[in-house]
Amino acid sequence: MSYSIFRVQGIKTTSDLRGIGKHNADRISDTNLDIDKEKSSENIELVKCDSYLKRFSEITLDMRREHEERMKTTRSDRRKSFEQAINGAKNDVACEFLFTSDEEFFKGKSKAEIQSWAQDSLEFVTDEIGLSHDRIIHASVHMDEKTPHLHIVAVPLTEIYDGRRKENVLTISRHQFIKTKDDLSSLQDKYNERMNERGYVLERGTPKEVRHQKVHA
């Protein structure tokens, strides 16, 4: 039986985000030799994106405004640009989800059937993880590699209470959506259950299967 594979990793800086955009959207990679450019036209875009950094700027516009407002009352020697602040923080600037299975699962499936599987996976991110569509930069299925797989890049932007400032502030925090490894494991269980409820016959991927599927090269 095939496995349901779902994993997530953080994207540390806007420079990293731009690089992932080149891989996911432009299909440029110096290390991934599996990309068949002749099949790239078959890739499926569920959420289109022309520029990862432009979309990131749109999603974080209110956070940028909050930051710039705070800087007005910050000592000049401690002021940072918005880019300096987010790239220098411990938090990720975005995160990337990967959904896939094995060759046997996709064997014989039409492009429409693969798109339906991908849409079910995207809805899992919005429904179960809580990242709304307006936080998603790009969602695409790569059909030009050995096994189809769905990449979803999103900004885990949320509002939290800042005890020091005594107010709610916008922050980018994957931890607010997936707090621990146990929470991730629970979500992987839920993903498997959801996909089987939708009619797919899949075993829950173990850490071994998940580890053998890289998010990107």
Tens-place pLDDT, residues 101-147? 999 999 999 999 999 999 999 999 999 999 999 999 999 999 989 89
Averaged pLDDT for residues 6-19: 96
Question: pLDDT for 59-92, tens place per residue?
Answer: 999 999 999 999 999 999 999 999 999 999 889 9
Which residue segments constitute the domains of the chain, with CATH numbers given? 3-211 (3.30.930.30)
Task: Enumerate long-range contacts of 171-177, CB under 8 Å, 24 or more apart.
Answer: 171/63, 171/91, 172/60, 172/63, 172/86, 172/89, 172/91, 172/92, 172/93, 172/94, 173/91, 174/8, 174/10, 174/91, 174/92, 174/95, 175/91, 177/129, 177/130, 177/131
The C-alpha angle 120, 173, 68, rounded to 5 degrees, equals: 125
Identify the pLDDT of residue 120.
Answer: 98
Beta carbons of 196 and 202 less than 8 angstroms apart: yes
Closest CA to 3 of 205, 156, 212, 207: 205
This model's pTM is above 0.85: yes
Identify the pLDDT of residue 29.
Answer: 66
Q: Is the pLDDT of residue 217 over 80?
A: no
Residue bearing the bigger pLDDT, 215 or 209: 209
Q: Give Cα separations from 206 to 7, 94, 189, 193 (angstroms).
A: 11, 25, 10, 14
Averaged pLDDT for residues 160-172: 87
